[in-house]
Chain A
Amino acid sequence: MRYAMVIDTKKCVGCSDCVVACQNENRVPIGYCRDWVIEHAKGAFPNVSIELRSERCNHCENSPCVRCCPTGASHYEEGGLVMVDRGACIGCGACVQSCPYNARFSHPEGYVDKCSFCNHRLKEGKSPSCVSVCPTNCMYFGDLNDSESQVSQLLKNRDWKVLAPEVGTKPQVYYLI
């Protein structure tokens, strides 16, 4: 099992539904977020193009946040999920600093929080909240070890990229371009 998220930037309209749904689902306090939306514009009027994409923790295969965590609160789980054990987290913030994607935040209750790929929903056989709410259906979630899965097929048939591949973290959120 290797969980991955595939996001089609050709369909995303930047509506931020993924952000609100995650905030509700995971009770992220107002003022914080586990996922967010980026607009990237290129060119000059009228030859302009934009890319819209929803970002979150990449559940990196080689994650500096797990490596630098002094208590082991940040750890890997089944399917390659990168998780934070709230009880063990002392809120030192080392992982927040180490993440090249700025995916983590210090929760007002004293621990560090970030996207969990909604593992509580995965256990019930549901998709992550952001994936299941997206009105453009531009997000896909599944197992990359299964070559027949939708995510594997999309990566096989479409052009894609990951964010900041040069830092060597091996992100598991893929963007179709």
Chain B
Amino acid sequence: MSKSRREFIKISALSFGGLVMANPILNAMIGQVQAGEPIDASKIKPVPTYCEVCFWKCAGWVHTDEKGELWKIEGNEDDPHCKGRFCPRGTGGLGMYNDEDRLKSPLMRVEVNGKQTFKEVSWDKAFRFIADKMNQISEEHGPESLALFKHGSGGAHFGKLFKAFGSRNITAPSYAQCRGPREVGFHATFGANINSPEPVDLENTKCLVLIGNHIGENMHNSHVQEMSKAIDNGLEIITVDPRLSTAASKSVHWLPIKPATDIALLLAWMHVLVTEKLYDKAYIDQYAYGFEDLEAHIADKTPEWAEEITTIKADVIRETARKMAYHAPATLIHPGRHVTWYGDDTQRLRAMAMLNALLGSWGRKGGFYFPEKAKVPSFPHPAYPSASWTWKDYLDGKYALAGSSIANVFVDASHPDNKTDKKIKGWFVVGTNLISTIPDTKKTLEAIDNLDLFVVVDTMPMEITGYADIILPECTYLERYDDIRVSPNREPNIAVRIPAAKPKYLTKPSDWIVRKLAEKLKLSAHFNYKSYSEVLDWQLKQMGFSLAEMKERGIIKFDRKNANLYLEEGEEYEFGTPTGMIELYSTDLEMEGFDPLPNYTPHPEPPAGFFRLNYGRAPMHTFGRTANNPNLNELMNENKLWVNPKIAKKAGIVNGQEIWLENQDGVKSEFPIKVRVTERIGMDNVYMVHGFGKSNKKLKRSNGRGISDSQLVTNVMVDPVMGGTGMRGNFVKFVIDKPEREVIS
């Protein structure tokens, strides 16, 4: 980065002087959460919202006290996402609002005495700058050369602006860096996507199989609740994980598998079900395509074969397969969420889908239910102009099965190495810290350097903001309206978000930012309202309700159109695959030149002295967005490196000791991490929670606390089927003494 045109600016160097200090709201903020007697509940007027700390979007009520200050947030009893109970991150969501390290004013990159720095600017100036650059890019390259990376509710507003401007190059890292392979793998099998929340019928599940899925450490709220309810009803859990995760600790069978060998285990499980005739024959006969091919394919994939590869004993493989069959179809192989591991992830997820198929759990009680979603009319706007090219054209047929845009491909299209005529020259990054979400940061930074415009919209000074030309401070979800929440579920439902407080400092909601920018771009016709509440009220009135009514209720549930949650006995059913059947043999994959049946391929092992780097979640944090949240930071303010005691002894490191890590490419962690010596992990890997080791000093509570796993993920294995970025093939060794720090300028 030394020759970077767009130097990283540590926001700590900025003064938030004049503009913000003069803002009276700041003074009101100081001393806000005062300890004292509990509040008199009779004075409380709760405001409905849905949570934005993670993508589960639980609906809840924000309670304010008699002084009008935010006090607490609680789940909405009627909401199927949370059933009246928020998870720790949602409960601590007020910390996002109270965090004094928030972005407070629009900032523009300027050069002072030859040094780049950020300067506070007015919103109007920021908009003029952005609009000019957008028009310039559009004139030179076309409007398609602007790309949007988004995550969360704010991104939706920007999506509309992009479409109105003429670009469909819109992406979210939550696909290719997270759940994409599962969508493709399940779609190839059942002709349907999994989506969010996953339509898993956990509350009725009798046997739950978790493969690298950490319910309880991931707080997918309703699923955690349903799993717990199922435990009361005698649920048996089988967990495949190299580490004793929380879920593993609740399991009847914990299979501490050798990392990167899951497909072998899945094939052997299928082998047992098929050879012992334990699969759901009637279901397979009626619905499945390619059973004989599968039968031949797995004939030699015996448990003994898999034992050699996975280190899981053959008799354990048999016993667990029989247990799944015993409880079928109320046996659920959970599709999981963050599934981009080794580059053959679509195939692994295919194998998981096929195992579900053999057990007959798709469309069955205790397996997968058929979700339904409410229809919300869109607010009238002029037709969007057509775009002359999109990311799909840039890919020119590659990753044809990807059902959604691939964020890393946008980086490629922005990189100087892109020699095609489809170039991306401007980025908006809304609510996603690309530095820790997209692996291969070096490439991302080279792409950023090649841009003519780089706008970041966020609530916090995340690392990515340091590279922006312009930073726009968004207010938190507690201070704004947003789109009506519509999500597939057992019962169709909608929920609203109403501001519980005025935006603090000079922050603004995304809908306002977009509307004002649209004025400068002469696109106001697309945003024909004065407040987003008008849009919501119009939409709700079309549906027979009103915003006023929603303020009282928060959520509305509807009757299902199709009463059946599950397939009826022998029901005729057409699946969304090319054959209309459950494809054990995938014709889609075959067409694209990939294995129509999944195969196990060995993956590289850690070299001597190295350990595979695994990372995961802690229940009180999410996406690295919460590390600085005062409430949640208090519960966990750094990540630790899980190390097996035997390994620790050999390496001469002890519990609590600070060490550094170096990966296979010689990349060293920026900060030290404390060792946590624990029997919960085996000898071939180490583990840490994702989202720590913040390098931006402006994040006072989280800067330099623990380390960032993303920094150490430099080996990225791209999934040839859908372009996902496999991140679990990185190996680290311990560095005991503080390494010399390379100066990053």
* Chain B proximity mask over A20-36: 1 for CB below 8 Å, otherwise 0: 11011111111100000
A138 touches B228 (CB 8 A): yes
Does A89 touch B at the CB level, under 8 Å? no
A10 touches B246 (CB 8 A): no
Residue from B41, B244, B254, B645 in contact with A124 in the complex, judged by beta carbons closer than 8 Å: B41
Give the chain A neighbours of B630 by CB distance below 8 A.
30
A49 touches B249 (CB 8 A): yes
Q: Which of B214-250 contact A (CB under 8 A)?
A: 216-217, 219, 221, 224-225, 227-229, 231-232, 244, 246-247, 249-250
B679 touches A41 (CB 8 A): yes
Residue from A13, A31, A46, A50 in contact with B224 in the complex, judged by beta carbons closer than 8 Å: A13
Known: A24-B72, A25-B72, A49-B249. A41 touches B682 (CB 8 A): no
Q: Determine the distance from Cα of A20 to Cα of B90 in the docked complex, in whole angstroms.
A: 10
A136 to chain B, nearest CB (A): 4
A156 to chain B, nearest CB (A): 16
B87 touches A135 (CB 8 A): yes
Known: A13-B619, A16-B88. A43 touches B635 (CB 8 A): no
Give the chain B neighbours of A16 by CB distance below 8 A.
88, 619-620, 635
Give the chain A neighbours of B33 by CB distance below 8 A.
27, 29-30
Give the chain B neighbours of A134 by CB distance below 8 A.
85
Give the chain B neighbours of A149 by CB distance below 8 A.
none
Q: Determine the distance from Cα of A144 to Cα of B85 in the docked complex, in whole angstroms.
A: 25
Give the chain B neighbours of A136 by CB distance below 8 A.
216, 224-225, 227-228
Give the chain A neighbours of B37 by CB distance below 8 A.
27
Does B678 touch A at the CB level, under 8 Å? yes
Give the chain B neighbours of A17 by CB distance below 8 A.
85-88, 91, 619
Does B119 touch A at the CB level, under 8 Å? no
Query: Residue of B at shortest CB range from A136?
Result: B228
A28 to chain B, nearest CB (A): 7
Residue from A13, A20, A120, A135 with most neighbouring chain B CB atoms (10 Å) = A135
Residue from B41, B644, B679 in contact with A43 in the complex, judged by beta carbons closer than 8 Å: B679
A107 touches B85 (CB 8 A): no
B45 to chain A, nearest CB (A): 16
A15 touches B94 (CB 8 A): no
A14 touches B246 (CB 8 A): yes
A133 touches B256 (CB 8 A): no
Does A19 touch B at the CB level, under 8 Å? yes
Q: Which of B357-382 contact A (CB under 8 A)?
A: none
Chain A interface: which size bin? Answer: 35 or more
Q: Determine the distance from Cα of A4 to Cα of B682 in the docked complex, in whole angstroms.
A: 40
A50 touches B244 (CB 8 A): yes
A48 touches B246 (CB 8 A): no
Known: A11-B231, A30-B634, A46-B254. A135 touches B680 (CB 8 A): no
B680 touches A13 (CB 8 A): no
Q: Which of B597-650 contact A (CB under 8 A)?
A: 619-620, 630-632, 634-635, 644-645
Give the chain B neighbours of A26 by CB distance below 8 A.
38
A23 touches B631 (CB 8 A): yes
Does A132 touch B at the CB level, under 8 Å? yes
Residue from B228, B246, B620 in contact with A137 in the complex, judged by beta carbons closer than 8 Å: B228
Query: Residue of B at shortest CB range from A107?
Result: B35
Q: Which of A34-48 contact B (CB under 8 A)?
A: 41, 43-46, 48
Does A68 touch B at the CB level, under 8 Å? no
B432 to chain A, nearest CB (A): 24
Q: Which of B698-715 contact A (CB under 8 A)?
A: none
Query: Residue of A at shortest CB range from B229?
Result: A137
A33 to chain B, nearest CB (A): 8
Does A73 touch B at the CB level, under 8 Å? no
A20 touches B35 (CB 8 A): no
Residue from A21, A30, A45, A120 with most neighbouring chain B CB atoms (10 Å) = A45
Known: A43-B679, A48-B244, A48-B680. A20 touches B228 (CB 8 A): no
Give the chain B neighbours of A48 by CB distance below 8 A.
244, 249, 679-680
Known: A16-B619, A20-B88. A45 touches B35 (CB 8 A): no
Number of B residues near A (Cβ < 8 Å) is 54
B644 to chain A, nearest CB (A): 6
Does B583 touch A at the CB level, under 8 Å? no
Known: A24-B94, A31-B634. A45 touches B224 (CB 8 A): no
A133 touches B92 (CB 8 A): no
Give the chain A neighbours of B227 by CB distance below 8 A.
136
Query: Residue of A at shortest CB range from B254?
Result: A46
Residue from A28, A29, A133 with most neighbouring chain B CB atoms (10 Å) = A133
B91 touches A24 (CB 8 A): yes
B34 touches A27 (CB 8 A): yes
Does A108 touch B at the CB level, under 8 Å? yes
Q: Determine the distance from Cα of A25 to Cα of B65 in the docked complex, in whole angstroms.
A: 11
B85 touches A135 (CB 8 A): yes
Residue from B635, B644, B683 in contact with A19 in the complex, judged by beta carbons closer than 8 Å: B635
Give the chain B neighbours of A25 by CB distance below 8 A.
38, 72
Q: Determine the distance from Cα of A111 to Cα of B679 in the docked complex, in whole angstroms.
A: 41
Q: Which of B74-110 contact A (CB under 8 A)?
A: 74-75, 84-88, 91-92, 94
Give the chain B neighbours of A107 by CB distance below 8 A.
35
* Chain A proximity mask over B36-75: 1 for CB below 8 Å, otherwise 0: 1111010000000000000000000000000000011111
A49 to chain B, nearest CB (A): 6
Q: Determine the distance from Cα of A163 to Cα of B92 in the docked complex, in whole angstroms.
A: 29
Does A52 touch B at the CB level, under 8 Å? yes
B631 touches A41 (CB 8 A): no
B84 to chain A, nearest CB (A): 8
Give the chain B neighbours of A45 by CB distance below 8 A.
244, 256, 644, 679-683
Q: Determine the distance from Cα of A16 to Cα of B246 in the docked complex, in whole angstroms.
A: 13
Query: Residue of B at shortest CB range from A45?
Result: B679
Query: Residue of A at shortest CB range from B636?
Result: A16
Query: Residue of B at shortest CB range from A108?
Result: B35
Q: Which of A114-141 contact B (CB under 8 A)?
A: 120, 124, 132-138
Give the chain B neighbours of A41 by CB distance below 8 A.
678-680
B238 to chain A, nearest CB (A): 14
Known: A27-B35, A31-B634, A137-B229. A50 touches B91 (CB 8 A): no
B38 touches A133 (CB 8 A): no
Does A159 touch B at the CB level, under 8 Å? no
Query: Residue of B at shortest CB range from A134?
Result: B85
B35 touches A109 (CB 8 A): yes
Query: Residue of A at shortest CB range from B35?
Result: A29
B395 to chain A, nearest CB (A): 40
Q: Which of B247-289 contact A (CB under 8 A)?
A: 247, 249-250, 254, 256
20 A-B pairs with C-beta separation under 8 A: A10-B231, A11-B232, A13-B247, A15-B87, A15-B619, A23-B631, A24-B91, A27-B33, A27-B39, A28-B35, A30-B33, A41-B680, A45-B644, A45-B679, A45-B682, A135-B85, A135-B221, A135-B224, A136-B227, A138-B228
Other than the given A27-B33, A27-B34, A135-B228, 10 more pairs (CB < 8 A) read A13-B224, A14-B216, A15-B216, A24-B72, A26-B38, A43-B679, A45-B256, A50-B249, A133-B74, A136-B225
- Which A residues are within 8 Å of any B CB, using their own CB? 10-11, 13-17, 19-21, 23-31, 41, 43-46, 48-50, 52, 107-109, 120, 124, 132-138
Q: Which 3 pairs from chain A and chain B are nearest by CB?
A: A13-B216, A15-B619, A136-B228
